[in-house]
Structure 1
């Protein structure tokens, strides 16, 4: 009977696919498992293609961002050597002779294009140079800021996923209910409230009046709560709304109704069918929001004096520390590329189509 059929494309679960392989083998038309190998090869090819594209993107982003930062610094008003000397020795100890000495020491009297070529040559050797203000290696200078920014972003993203995912899933179970309406109000308020204003409100309430949490610093685990909450409030509200819409749409699908008619409990249907199919959409949206999260880190870190990349970037701009400015901006840009890469790979892992398209003769 299997030999007389046309091609059958299976989009069912793993046990049914295993049964289909047995039927195909019994019919003498060759093992159906041969169709799985092209699927795996296609997936590996897609992964290699994504990695190659992101590597090219990382190189181009590094060149463009570093060049743009260098051009911006060159157009800023004021004497760069004077500002660097003030950062080293203080404004009281800065004279014209001191500024001239700093200019000659750092090669700031060379043409701008020579300074840019020198930066690119050092970058090819993976040498980020030295800070013009502190004299330390830029890599060592940015080691703590990179780790601090990753810590802050990870905590904020975790809070957004846990809170937003739970609220959105609960709201999807009763569309139009009280929780659903509150989620809509939450999203509207989160989008209308700027992060710096929300951060100030959290500082006034939880640090000044209640005294529960520190307003600034990086010394304890409690110091990450306020800046992470500032970043997570808006992100979790949007994520809750997207989760609600996605789960509600998938929950009304025919295959979900069929799973319920088989007698599966609602929790099993939610976990095995609804959330599993919603994962691809949620991961893609989370990747877009994570890019915006990297951008919001600059404002929040400056507000809470969090020693991250945004904080280092602001100080580098103020003191005209070009190597630190370029390296910090490039690091932020590469974080965006890394987030996009992780999202693409997660999408390939969650997308069932390449590995489920098995042809059984």
Structure 2
């Protein structure tokens, strides 16, 4: 496992290099002049030319990318066109808020989804199973921004129980985390139900019951442990989707995270900010998937890494 982890870590710079090239080319081929947007509507042509020279936008793309890559190797993500502050400082300021929101949402999805799926699998086609299926359809089909607006209307505007926006204590986190995590509650519950149904029909489960092993031990020690591999796989896949959803949820709830920071930069064609935030998002997804791959061997020691 150690050799496998080392190989995956050594591949990380190459993956991030590919992401940086793709993002760099896409942003530079999108119509529009970032220097003119940065200068503002009242700027003169001289001001626009000066901005192009200051940020190297008047140079060939290969030269621009080589300069960007050289800075990136030294941890320099460039400066924002809007605030003229280093992008790395802004990411360091906004990233904790995004990690707080995504981690809470994923914890909510696992803590609610897996027990609901297990409970539904214990009594297929029962009342619990039917209710969970309805919840799953509702959670998957409802857009995040619409659910967020409904929650704000009910709990903030009507009842006044929760603050409508911003980041502060636990009260500020409840609605954004629930809005972001509800679709994944549905995903984990349906997957936990299907995998548990498959495992509960295995011969070793019937043997455990025949030996008089208590029901809760059979379910949680034997069945759930063997059904957890698909759940861990989906955890790694959904983390990237969760980061993508956080961009929308942070905008709806004015959550001061990196997703909202990136949306503002996209609207202003702030190239260095968009490149930096996407690179950090990509690194987080790759890191989480590496952890998931290594967790397979911990959950099931029979898995070997070739």
Q: TM-score, normalised by structure 1?
A: 0.79
- 1:127 CA displacement: 2.0
- 1:310 CA displacement: 1.4
Task: Give the distance between the partners of 1:109 and 1:198, measured in 2 at CA.
Answer: 45
**Does the aligned pair in 1 maintain the 2:117–2:189 contact within 8 Å?**
yes
What per-residue deviation string (whole Å, max 9, x for no partner) do you get for residues 68-126 of structure 1? 2222332333332221123xxxx55x333332332232222222221111001111222
Aligned positions of 1:168-179 closer than 5 A: 168-179=117-128
Task: Give the distance between the partners of 2:56 and 2:122, measured in 1 at CA.
Answer: 65
Match of residue 318 from structure 1: 267
What per-residue deviation string (whole Å, max 9, x for no partner) do you get for residues 149-205 of structure 1? 111110000000111111111111111101101111122222221222222222222
Task: Give the distance between the partners of 2:55 and 2:78, measured in 1 at CA.
Answer: 11
Match of residue 111 from structure 1: 60
Task: Give the distance between the partners of 2:214 and 2:301, measured in 1 at CA.
Answer: 24
Task: Give the distance between the partners of 1:296 and 1:350, measured in 2 at CA.
Answer: 29
**Does the aligned pair in 2 maintain the 1:309–1:332 contact within 8 Å?**
no
- Shifted more, 130-139 versus 96-105: the winner is 96-105
- 1:221 CA displacement: 2.1
Please give the root-mean-square deviation of Cα atoms over the aligned residues, in Å: 1.9
Q: Would you say 1:338 and 2:292 are equivalent positions?
A: no
- Cα 1:354–1:339 change in 2 (3 A) is closer
Task: Give the distance between the partners of 2:222 and 2:301, measured in 1 at CA.
Answer: 12
Task: Give the distance between the partners of 1:53 and 1:315, measured in 2 at CA.
Answer: 33
Q: Identify the match of residue 4 of structure 2 among 49, 52, 56.
A: 49
- Cα 1:197–1:55 change in 2 (3 A) is farther
Q: Would you say 1:99 and 2:48 are equivalent positions?
A: yes
Match of residue 194 from structure 1: 143
Q: Identify the match of residue 226 of structure 1 among 172, 175, 183.
A: 175
Identify unmatched segments of 5+ residues in structure 2: none
Match of residue 34 from structure 2: 80
Aligned positions of 1:65-214 closer than 5 A: 65-86=19-40, 91=41, 94-214=43-163
**Structure 1 stretches of 4+ moved >4 Å:** none
**Does the aligned pair in 2 maintain the 1:65–1:326 contact within 8 Å?**
no
- Cα 1:79–1:161 change in 2 (3 A) is same
What per-residue deviation string (whole Å, max 9, x for no partner) do you get for residues 225-268 of structure 1? 11111111110011011111112221222212221222221112
Q: Identify the match of residue 223 of structure 2 among 268, 274, 277.
A: 274
**Does the aligned pair in 2 maintain the 1:191–1:234 contact within 8 Å?**
yes
**Does the aligned pair in 2 maintain the 1:199–1:303 contact within 8 Å?**
yes
Identify unmatched segments of 5+ residues in structure 1: 1-43, 356-361
Match of residue 302 from structure 1: 251
Larger radius of gyration: 1
Q: TM-score, normalised by structure 2?
A: 0.92
Task: Give the distance between the partners of 2:99 and 2:10, measured in 1 at CA.
Answer: 21
**Does the aligned pair in 1 maintain the 2:250–2:256 contact within 8 Å?**
yes
**Does the aligned pair in 2 maintain the 1:144–1:307 contact within 8 Å?**
no
Larger RCO: 1 or 2 (CA < 8 Å, sep 6+): 1
- Shifted more, 153-162 versus 131-140: the winner is 131-140
- 1:345 CA displacement: 0.9
**Does the aligned pair in 1 maintain the 2:136–2:190 contact within 8 Å?**
yes
**Does the aligned pair in 2 maintain the 1:54–1:337 contact within 8 Å?**
no
SS of the equivalent of 1:219 reads coil
